Amino acid sequence: MKYSAQNLLTVENLFTKLGYTIRYEQGMFAAGTCLVKGNPVVLLNKTLKKESKMQVLIEILVPILNQNPNIAWTEEERIEINKILKQTK
């Protein structure tokens, strides 16, 4: 998967479908997930380059996908998920 703005948006949309909010903040912190008022949030440094944002999001997304195998994905989403999973092998 190439690191384009469209592919970044696709990965962000997968998180949204899973119920996550993605926040881009500035500061000295490690990217990751947390709960804010009971809602799952992915926190990324907004100064990261597009490639790094994609890599971090994919690293976070793969275990989430493995934990939620029964989600009803559209065919287009399944294709994108398969591309992501192939990239991580």
Model confidence at 1, pLDDT cuts 50, 70, 90, reads low
> Considering its fold, how many domains does the chain have in total?
1
Q: Say which CATH number the domain at 18 has.
A: 3.30.2010
Q: Which residue has the tokens 């994919």?
A: 58
State which residues form the domain around 35: 5-87
C-beta atoms surrounding 69 within 10 Å: 6
Summarize pLDDT for 42-71 with one digit per residue, the tens.
999 999 998 899 889 999 998 888 887 788
The count of C-alpha atoms lying within 13 angstroms of the C-alpha of 75, restricted to the half-sphere facing its C-beta, is 0
Q: Does residue 26 come out as left (phi exceeding 0), alpha (psi in the -120 to 50 range) or beta?
A: beta
